[in-house]
Amino acid sequence: MQHITSEEIAEMEKLFRLNLINSVTGYKSANLIATKSEKKGVNVAVFSSVTHLGSNPALLGFITRPTKEVARNTYKNIKENKYFTVNHIQKNMIESAHQTAAKYDEEISEFQQTGLEEEYLDNFYAPYVKQSKVKLGCEYVNEYYIKENNTVMLIGAIKHIYFDEGIQAPDGWLRLDDAETVAINGLDGYTLPSLLDRFHYARPGQEIKSFFKKED
């Protein structure tokens, strides 16, 4: 097996290290975060750091770098207006989704540049991505500065959830491979996971039981 130490990581060429470290921590969620500014219009960008924080209250978080040197429109718009949407990236949208990472000027809408469509639902302030099959309307709750690498974890409350009815199981669970939601491998790889199995709650000393496989 290949073995790499922290000293070797520190000595690596920048892009090589970026690719290695971004992929070695595993698959990440693939989402488009969309926001709106009254003066500068709409914004949408790809994020791989959106993560579940808790279900009651329903909270999510994502990591961003609010530096002064590079404008961060998503962060700025959320701070100004409090609302944002999180939209799953589907198999048929990966090129458009990736293109949203390009550094467009604040006045330029990534929606117009990429063919992704804005959609407004139930009077929510921020736009959703029409092509997305799973989308969340969120409200800013708080943020935590991470001093170790000058980033911020922004916390959002989930206010609205939309998805195609066909992907939900009777117990609430969403089968994301039915929606063709992708995952991110590294910083530029998009992959389509397929479900292997689903298990009942694990208890010490009890055999793992599948939801799908019939008992003999």
Ligand X SMILES: Cc1cc2nc3c(=O)[nH]c(=O)nc-3n(C[C@H](O)[C@H](O)[C@H](O)COP(=O)(O)O)c2cc1C
Binding site for ligand X (CB under 6 A): 43, 45-49, 62-65, 71-74, 98, 101, 103, 184, 187-188
Q: Which is nearer to ligand X, 46 or 138 (CB)?
A: 46
Residue listed under structure tokens 């195609």: 164
Give least dist CB 58 to ligand X, A: 20
**Nearest CB to ligand X, comparing residues 176 and 184:** 184
Residue 125 CA to residue 35 CA, distance in Å, equals 8
As beta bridge partners, residue 84 has 138
121 φ/ψ angles, rounded to the nearest 5 degrees:
-125, 135
Distance in Å, CB of 11 to ligand X, minimum = 25
Nearer to ligand X, 164 or 188 (CB): 188
Nearest distance, CB of residue 63 and ligand X, angstroms: 5
Nearer to ligand X, 153 or 167 (CB): 153
Rounded-to-integer distance, Cα 101 and Cα 84, Å: 17
Cβ at position 134, least distance to ligand X in Å = 18
- Contact indicator for 128, 119 with CB cutoff of 8 Å: yes
- Residue 117 contacts by C-beta under 8 Å, 6 or more apart in sequence? 111, 129, 130, 131
